[in-house]
Amino acid sequence: MKKRYYLILFLFFSYSGIAQSTTWDTLRYQKYSSSLIIGVFQSYRNFENSFEQFKMSDSTGASKNDYMAESRLVSGIEVIYDKFSFGLAVRSNPPKASSGKGNTRTFNTNFNFGGNIWYFQNTFRYFQGFYDNNTAAYDTTIRETGQYYQRPDIGNVLLRSKFLYFSHHDRFAFRSGYAGNYRQLRSAATWILSANMNYNKLSSDSSFFTYASRPYYGNYASMNGLRVIGASLNFGAAATLVILKGFFINGMFIVGPEQQWRKYNYEDGHTNLSYISISGDLRFSIGLNLRRCYFVAFNANDFSMYNSSYVGLTSSSISGGFLFGWRFHTGTPDFYKKFQETKFYRSI
């Protein structure tokens, strides 16, 4: 019943735009529907899986395992044409501070589709190898060696699809703050409704917990895997402040309940549980958006909480970086003009 409920809402938001006017206030924002846009970016990403327990008193903090991916600096390219965008990011050379933290293999990509009425984001993330940022709470030798507790066997695969619907799409351009296919000319704001689906699989060869923390986790002490399928409905707002039709500051925040179907794997079996939790998305950007080029400094934070009465896990990704892009006025191919004439296109 719940799956059907989310599907109905998704279809409603998708096609409600067909009955709405496709015109927009040209004094508020400008579209670039016939330009090939290429952007390059570099970002610093902080990806984290943080475990904690809620049953026993722990004055030392040794019960917490805060697993972080070492591959923080990534570089990538984004290609945009009208309603479509594709991005690919790979790890840059690791900073010197990575010594003692091991190595994380990572791969990130995204494919997005949509316009100013609604927008559909799809991301894939893969991480292999983590280190415990809380090592100092149970291993005092780190002060001399600088070596964190490392788990090269922990892997994490995430798939996320996010559907965003904008109430004031006639005067607010969401993508103008993060890409180059729109340019906000005057300040504006909008309410946002969001429907999301995600898959998160965390696995390891042995228990997630260190020998120092296992006594705090009771029956969960041997847990070595967690698979979560989640569906959420979020609500929030976004706004852009524009100065001299070029400089801008943008912010967005959405949050809401998430239905989660979880499978906990242990060294001797597994359990299936269902929970209602919280997920959200917070973004901020500042930059300069001109007729041919744009420069954006951005920060994004998305999170999901996988808590039970005994153990909690917060999976979060915080990224910040810089993006530079250029618009090439290539024109519109004939086959694409036919697509632009469809009702579906006008509903985006």
- CATH code of 236's domain: 2.40.128
Global pTM reads 0.84
pLDDT (0 to 100) of residue 45: 78
Give the Å distances, CA to CA, from 270 to 135, 260, 264, 299.
28, 16, 5, 37
pLDDT of residue 13: 47
Strand partners, 263: 227, 272
How far, rounded to the nearest angstrom, does the alpha carbon of residue 178 sit from its chain's CA centroid?
Answer: 13
120 within domain boundaries:
yes
Structural domain count, the chain: 1
Dist. CA 278–CA 57, nearest whole Å: 25
- Cβ burial, residue 48 (10 Å; 0-12/13-18/19+): middle
pLDDT at residue 200, as a whole number: 95
224 falls within a domain: yes
Instruction: Answer yes or no: is 327 within a domain.
Output: yes
Per-residue pLDDT of the chain (348 residues; tens, 9 = 90+): 445 544 444 444 444 444 444 566 778 899 998 899 999 998 887 889 999 999 888 888 899 999 998 866 788 999 999 999 999 887 766 555 457 888 888 888 899 999 889 999 999 999 999 999 999 999 989 988 989 999 999 999 999 999 999 999 999 999 999 888 999 999 999 999 999 999 999 999 999 999 999 999 988 999 999 999 999 999 999 999 999 999 999 999 999 999 999 999 999 899 999 999 999 999 999 999 999 999 999 999 888 899 888 899 999 888 889 999 999 999 999 888 888 888 888 888
CA 184 to chain CA centroid, Å, is 23
Query: What is the C-alpha to C-alpha distance for residues 16 and 118, in angstroms, rounded to an integer?
Result: 10
DSSP assignment of 163-183 equals: EEEETTTTT--GGGGTSSSEE
In a domain, 22, yes or no: no
Q: Kindly state whether residue 259 falls inside one of the protein's structural domains.
A: yes
234 inside domain: yes
- Amino acid found at 95: P
Asked if residues 289 and 184 have their Cβ atoms less than 8 Å apart, the reply is yes
- Nearest-angstrom CA–CA distance, 192 and 252: 9
Q: Return the structure tokens found at 240.
A: 């852009």
Burial level of 331, CB count in 10 A (0-12/13-18/19+)? exposed
Within a domain: 1: no
Instruction: Residue 55: give the domain boundaries.
Output: 35-346
Q: Is residue 18 domain-resident?
A: no
Q: How far is the CA of 326 from the CAs of 78, 90, 208, 258, 330, in angstroms?
A: 11, 21, 45, 38, 12
Predicted local confidence at residue 20, as pLDDT? 45
CA angle 170, 284, 259 (to 5 degrees): 85
CB atoms near residue 258 (< 10 Å): 22
Apex CA 164: angle with CA 22 and CA 188, to 5°? 65
Rounded CA-CA distance 84/162 in Å is 15
Residue at 326: amino acid letter: W
pLDDT on residue 21:
46
The pLDDT of residue 15: 45
